Structure formats: C-alpha cells, structure tokens
Amino acid sequence: MRMSLKLSGWNDTIVALATPPGIGAIGVIRLSGEKAIHIINALFPSKDLNEQSSHTLHVGFLKSKGKILDEAVVSIYKAPRSYTGENIVEISCHGSPFIHQQVIDACIEEGARLAKPGEFTQRAFLNGKLDLAQAEAVADLIASNTQASHKTALNNIRGGFSQALKELREELIRFSALIELELDFSQEDVEFVDRSQLMKLVTTANEHTGRLMQSFQLGNVIKNGVSVAIIGKPNAGKSTLLNALLNEDRAIVSHIPGTTRDTIEEVLNMDGILFRLIDTAGIRNHSDDVIETVGIEKSLQKMKQAEIVLYLFDVNNEDPVELSRTIRELDQKVIHFLLVGNKVDLIDEAAAREKFVYTSGVIFIAAKNGLHLEVLKERMVDKVFQKDVSGESVIVTNARHFHALNEVHSALNDVILGLQDKIPGDLLALDIRRCLQYLGEITGDITNEDQLDYIFSKFCIGK
Ligand SMILES: Nc1nc2c(ncn2[C@@H]2O[C@H](COP(=O)(O)OP(=O)(O)OP(=O)(O)O)[C@@H](O)[C@H]2O)c(=O)[nH]1
Ligand SMILES: [Mg+2]
C-alpha cells in the first residue's frame, strides 16, 4: 500500500454520481470508504445491509427522514475486494436528476462527502490496486472514441506498459545495490558489478526505451487523430476528394480555379483511426488575388504541419517531369506523402498509368465518381501503421510518460558513456539512480502529492 502518500481527506467516505448527469433509464451513485455500507444501511429500512456479504445485490426502498426517495438496487463490495480497495456501495436508482440529487444529499447527511474528480481511481492507486500508468489509462479509456484508442487504453490498464518498465527497474535496482555495496568497500578496490554485464543491460534497456518513445508518435495519432492535408494545384479536385471521402457535400466544388480560399477541416474514422482531413486552397506560383495569396500561404503551412500529405494532381494536365520535381521537394522537406492522380475517368486509366510510368506509387482515382477511393483509403491507413515500431506491442499514449521516458533515455545514455570512460562507481550510481527516479515517476512508485492531485484532477467526477 502506498501509505506514505495518504492525502488529506483520505479517511472520508466519498459519494458521486457515476453515470452521466441527466435523464436516463438508470443512474448509478457510488460510495467508497469505511462508512459506505453504514451510510447506505441508514437509508435502507428493509434489511440490515451491515450483515450482508460482499458482492451481493439488494432491492428495496431508499428512505430519508421518513420520506421514500426511490426504489433501488444496492450492490455491496467489501474491502479489499473492490475497485478502490475500500468498501464500495453502488446504488442503481431511476434515472432522474432530481432523484440522484436527493439520494446524494441523503448520503451526505449520513456522513459522506462529495468526491473530487478522479478520486475513486486515485484511491485505487493509493491502495495499490492500480499503478499510476494504469490509472491514467482508465482516464484514456473513458475518453477513447475509436476502436484503436480503446484497444491501447485497455492494454495499458491491464498493465502491459507497466510490466515492461517494472522489469527494467528491477534489473537496475539490482545493479545499483551492488554498486552501492562496492562503494562501501571502496578502500579495498574491488568490483562487485561486472561492468560488461551492466553495459549489456543498459544498452538493451536504452534500445527498449527508444522504441517505446517512438511508439508515442503512433500512440498520439491513435489518441488525437492523424492530420491529412490535401494539397495540389487549383482545380485538381481537392474539394471533390474531401467530399467523396466524407461522403457528403462539405466543400464548394466548381470548375473555376481558386474556388477554395480558406482551409476546411473535417474528421473521418477509418479502420478505427481518426483522420483529420484538411482541404486547402490550390497552390499556384503567382496570383494577383490577395485573398487567394493568403489562402496559398495557409496551404503551405498546413502541408508542413500535417502528418500525411495527399498530393493530388489532374492526370490530364500534369507534366511528369514537373511532378518529379514536386516529389523531390516534398522529400527534401521530409514530408510523408501519398501521390494521387485524379480524373482518370477523362482519359483511359491504362493511358494514365502509361503517362506516369516512371513515377512509382501513384494511386489513380476519379474523385468525382468515387473510382478506386477504397484503394486510397487503404493506403492512408497503411501509411499510419508504417510509422509503427514493429514488434512493440506496448504503445505509449501519455505525454507525461513520454517525457519521463525521455529522461530515462538520457540517464541511460549517461550510464553508457560513463562505462565507456570507466568513471568511478559513485558517479555511475548517480546516473543509475536518476534512471530509477524517472522510471518510478511513470508507475507512481516515486511521486509527490501535487503531481498526483494534478493527474487525477483531469478525470471526471465519479470515476
Ligand atoms: N471528370 C472529373 N472531374 C472532376 C473530378 N474531380 C473533380 N472534378 C472537377 O474538377 C473541377 C474542380 O474541382 P474542385 O474539387 O473544386 O477542385 P479543387 O482542387 O478543390 O480546386 P480549388 O479549390 O480551386 O483549388 C470541378 O468542376 C470538379 O467537378 C474527377 O474525378 N473527374
Ligand atoms: Mg477546392
């Protein structure tokens, strides 16, 4: 149990609505703390709930000051076999906000206090039911709105990420203990720690942290979506493509070049990944129109910021040599892009392929009638997973973990450099302790009260 971290108000029994506020079929009110069962018992006249065993359900009227509040189902979980590790009572009442408020007020009158955001999960953490990385995954899970983000959050709750870090931490603790021992015998000039073995461990650990850090890019994408900018010359069909991908008439399409003046953003969920599609103003070298010029500036900016660029061109009037030049420019700017040749319906598709035979990887489509759109969609999804780190099943999604990993990585680097330079054991021990410090910050083995309050305050009330 993380006793040293018990915060103020720790002994209180807390209460909150656990379901979303508003009208529903049912609403669940949750109590956690030593007095939880005692409190509900005071409101539940039909039987003595103090006498009931854990993990049981009870139906009856809730009564306060002689007035019936509702007929409800009460579930009882006794410490330590509950989510928080404390006594928990869940009251399923009818789904009216008025009833919820009355039941919560009655609980408060019997000695509970309102829970702060995330306080239930915070207690689960403090009672050793979850580590910090798992607790944060609970928040991510609640916020997840695509299949992929749901999957990574669930994996992190099960502790995949924590397990990987724990193993590393234990190995380092072993070495650090041996080095400290060595320091006690510094007069005798002995080495308990096999330096080459330590080097091997630290190098492997460093590679592993590096991979975890890389996975953050994908993790971030899964959590926040991938930005995709549709870029190309005026009239290439960018707005038509946006509409076709969204399956709705979102952007204005016309045969007049320079129709789109400002950027338009819309989200699209494909294969569980959230894409943020951005339609931009067509880029041309010279425009006398002030508004269009501003639009072009904005397009170039979006191109640089986007995670993926769809470079769209009209196969009928694009010059293959000029296209090669554009590809070189995109490569130089280290932009991830897909080449999309549009309007193949106007010439024969085979002729289009022949024309661009020296340019590899072009996806030929006709945005106007949706031809080969599914090929483009597939390639967009592939492009996201291409950035994935193969073999790494654990994906880092949390910025706080990423920054701590960064520190671990640099401390491990210092250990490696120290070993290469054969620095004395006491200096090595310092760097190893720094690694341990940051690893502990991720799982919550080392942390402080302010940090905890901050992390859990981002949860919703009732969780
Ligand atoms: N035949 C054919 N016409 C298309 C296709 N895609 C777009 N068009 C037409 O091309 C013209 C320009 O399309 P838009 O989608 O407005 O082009 P844009 O790239 O957004 O143009 P700007 O916003 O001006 O930069 C319209 O008349 C579209 O109907 C296609 O696949 N086949
Ligand atoms: Mg347009």
89-128: pLDDT as tens digits: 999 999 899 999 999 999 999 999 999 888 898 888 888 8
Instruction: Report pLDDT for 4.
Output: 47
Q: Is the pLDDT of residue 427 over 90?
A: no
Distance from Cα 241 to the centre of ligand 1, integer Å: 8
Sign (positive or negative) of CA dihedral 365, 368, 371, 372: positive
pLDDT-derived band at 384, boundaries 50, 70, 90: confident
Instruction: Report pLDDT for 392.
Output: 45
C-beta of 209 in contact with ligand 1 (< 6 A): no
Least confident window among 128-137, 230-239, 368-377: 128-137
Instruction: Report pLDDT for 201.
Output: 85
- How far, in whole angstroms, is CA 52 from its chain's centroid? 40
Q: Which ligand has its closest atom nearest to the C-alpha of 295?
A: 1
Instruction: Report pLDDT for 158.
Output: 67
pLDDT-derived band at 391, boundaries 50, 70, 90: very low
Instruction: Report pLDDT for 147.
Output: 64
Q: Which structure tokens are listed for 374?
A: 């599914």
Beta bridge partners of 155: none
Instruction: Report pLDDT for 207.
Output: 86
Distance from Cα 258 to the centre of ligand 1, integer Å: 11
Is residue 395 within a helix (H) or strand (E), and if so which, with residue range? none
Distance from Cα 40 to the centre of ligand 2, integer Å: 62
C-beta of 215 in contact with ligand 1 (< 6 A): no
Instruction: Report pLDDT for 242.
Output: 97
Ligand 1 atom nearest the C-alpha of 232 is 19
Instruction: Report pLDDT for 100.
Output: 93
**Residue that has been written with the tokens 């019936």 in this structure:** 68
197-207 confidence digits (pLDDT tens): 888 888 988 88
Q: Is the pLDDT of residue 3 over 50?
A: no
Long-range contacts of 354-361 (CB under 8 A, 24+ apart): 355/315, 355/320, 356/315, 356/320, 356/323, 358/320, 358/324, 359/320, 359/323, 359/324, 359/327
Q: Are 134 and 88 in contact (CB under 8 A)?
A: no
C-beta of 159 in contact with ligand 1 (< 6 A): no
Listed ranges 11-20, 181-190, 448-457; the one with the highest mean pLDDT: 11-20
Nearest CA to ligand 1 atom 24: 258
For the chain, helix, strand, coil in percent to 5 are: 50, 15, 35
Pocket test for ligand 1, best of 238, 240, 296 (most atoms within 8 A of CB): 240
pLDDT-derived band at 182, boundaries 50, 70, 90: confident
DSSP 457: H
Distance from Cα 261 to the centre of ligand 2, integer Å: 8
Residue 431, burial from CB neighbour count under 10 angstroms (0-12, 13-18, 19+): buried
Residue of higher predicted confidence among 274 and 413: 413
pTM of the predicted structure, to 2 decimals: 0.56
Ligand 1 atom nearest the C-alpha of 346 is 1
Q: Are 238 and 231 in contact (CB under 8 A)?
A: yes
Instruction: Report the chain's C-alpha Rg in angstroms.
Output: 30
Listed ranges 300-304, 319-323, 422-426; the one with the highest mean pLDDT: 319-323
SS3 for 260-308, per residue?
CCCCEEEEEEECCEEEEEEECCCCCCCCCCHHHHHHHHHHHHHHHHCCE
DSSP 365: -
Instruction: Report pLDDT for 389.
Output: 34
C-beta of 240 in contact with ligand 1 (< 6 A): yes
Distance from Cα 369 to the centre of ligand 2, integer Å: 16
| Type of residue found at 171 | E
Tell me the average pLDDT of the chain. 85
Q: Are 394 and 209 in contact (CB under 8 A)?
A: no
Ligand 1 atom nearest the C-alpha of 282 is 25
C-beta of 28 in contact with ligand 1 (< 6 A): no
CA–CA–CA angle 22, 25, 28 (5° rounding): 70
Percent residues over pLDDT 70 in the chain: 84
Average pLDDT (358-368) is 95
